Structure 1
Amino acid sequence: MQLPRLTASAVTRPGVIEMKQIINSKTWIVHGLIISSLLLAPVMAAHAGLTIANVSAEPAIFKPAKDKTIKVGFTINEPAHVQLNIYDARDYLIRNISSKKVLSAGNHTLTWDGRSASGQPLPPEAYYYTLEAKSATDELSEKPVVYDLTDKTGGETVYAVKVEYNPKDKKVHYALPATARIFMRVGIEKGNIYGTLINGAIRQAGQQTWSWDGWDQSHVFELGTHPKLQVYVEGIALSDNAILIDGPPPAMPTYVSLKPDEIVRRKAQPKPPGVNIHARHQRELCRDFPVTLTLPDNIKQSKQGLPLITGKLPVKMDLRPEDVVMLESQRFELVYYLNNNLVYENEVSYVPYTWIWDPKTLSGGTHYMTAVVVGFDGHFGMSTIKFQ
């Protein structure tokens, strides 16, 4: 049997279905016509066909001294109000630009000047754009159509190649096959990590360098001349809707300051399988962190001004309060190294943590003890002390 069609004679306003549902039934009254909700579905779908396509941003790398605006182009297939949203890596809304009027079906462009909503320049970082379109003809549609690639693309692990430290110019030389948010850490081959040089900051594809004085995180011993020095550089690929604001590359990301009542977060979606673990993290909680490692205040000093260890003593490790909050949400373990050799670990750690160390087998001379906090989500903190 052929189903009856709902024609224009059933409505008083072209393009709009005016209706009401008969209470507790699957039947609707559309201007006097009684129809099943099964017949209504195809009619509603016809008004839910708004799409956003052919989206691009130019330039993808915004140079404030050279470029005036970033142009985000797109195509819509029916008249709509469109809004361009700009988010930072924390998923905080930084700026929105409205079309202000209904845009006709076809190609359009919205522009962004690379600044915050208050007109302030933004720090060098990656920013992410989304588009929201609200149909001008489908009054039944309450939710806008959203174009957002933030969680659908990117997140793959990016490994640096040709990584080398030159102790003469005191620079780490490396190359990235793709623009990425990277971590650069230094340590000893098959041993411990002794410092974080780049802490989750953006670096562009291609040949790169980073200055390093060759010393460990605590500036206790020179690591750059060690024959087994290892420099680890890896990161996560950016999503396809990322726009970079160019500038001097930082050691760690900085963000625009927002008041609590100004914070609006993007509605994030689950990441696809196979992405790097750091791609799943809340960005402001994805970082390596400082550690404090201390001996008792009343310990004797050697002639060289170093702590003089003569017997069993407490070694205390602590973190900043904000880092404790971060680590408690992801679990962590504590590891102690003596002269790059593992001497103690605790997989059920808490902070502050005091380890009673007995140096009875330790020979004379100068020694180094390092405490490393290893977050189970791939974050590290370390501190080294020197003693005799």
Structure 2
Amino acid sequence: MSFSALGLSGFFQHTLDELGYTAPTKVQEQAIPAVLEGRDVLAAAETGSGKTAAFVLPLLEKLRDHTRPHSHQVTALILVPTRELAVQVKQAVQEYSLDYPRRLKTLAVYGGVSINTQMQAMLAGCDVMVATPGRLLDLIEKNAIRLDQVEYLVLDEADRMLDLGFADELERIMNLLPAQRQNLLFSATFPQELDVLIDRLLFNPVCIEIERQNKLPDSLIQRPIEVDKAQRTTLLRYLLAENRGAQFLVFVASKRTAENVADKLYKYDFNVDTLHGDKPQTERNATLAAFKAGKIRVLVATDLAARGLDIPLLPFVVNYDLPRSPADYVHRIGRTARAGEAGTAFTFVDPDNDAHFKLIVKRNQLNVSLEQIAGFERTTISESTPAKGQLPVKGKRKSKKDKLREAAAR
């Protein structure tokens, strides 16, 4: 099937041919016609499924005959959870509109950079705005943006927005939007907390769910490795030495861990940098650009890079720390083995994380087995698991009788 067969204009097909798009993905086949028909859309779309094109292309088709909005006004608003994803979606809009029949104004607004520049850019209005919720509200409070003329609203990575605590910001934004608009919601997972937002946002939506096997490609090799917590950095150095010259994206749980791991690798002359929320946005952009260009070999990142980060030909991902959410495991390892290329995802599993890793395996229906690497066998046991022959310590958990006594005393 061609993109033109989905209802898109011929110039899009030419652009997509130039970009190397051979045929629509499953989510694109279903979403593009629904958006062109004016329907609200609810889509379960994993990273790497082509979801950005699934909503950007039909939006651009519908905007083709629109006139430029007035000062401070926005026609199409795309909300995303992170700065990196905002930059990537904006770039996608610009790529897909290379042969667009009119001049299209696209802005990405996010924190960490000068707000004055963004305010100045909105003086002439904006066709497509890609925004993080916090900075969007900052601009609204400064009267730089008005949302009363928005015709199209997209929530991209909706589950991630809730994970990052944007529920209140989303509610405030919803209250500023016109009642009559088209709404598109894309999410990799659908936690219960998302139900309220779905009910509030969507009217009789077209529901799209892509089959699970599209989640992880066959070319992705998963290698969970048993290791003591104190030996993880040494194991990481071993893997780097075993794969000389190859790039690694290493996921950690906190900004502090990112800097600590990077400092230890730097002492061994590894070309390493970090990506986390404490770095200024200009520095984060420069780091990502350098990593994509192959100028940085090892990038140690927190989960802000797990979604929306597209690095062609990235061969290795490492889960130095396990992600909190089982769903984020898939998003992390999905940074490798993209576009049919081979890739390997290493996951370090220390004794205290055994139960959580089992949950990740169960929730994602993975077929993996823990392996050991010679010289890195575990020597410790989980603090939560009694040693062999040792009984649990009595009295750590209050008995029902103890709780009743305390209640009576109160």
Q: What TM-score do you get using the length of structure 1 for normalisation?
A: 0.25
Larger relative helix fraction? 2
Larger relative strand fraction? 1
- Structure showing greater radius of gyration is 1
Q: What TM-score do you get using the length of structure 2 for normalisation?
A: 0.24
Structure possessing the higher relative contact order (Cα contacts under 8 Å, 6 or more residues apart): 2
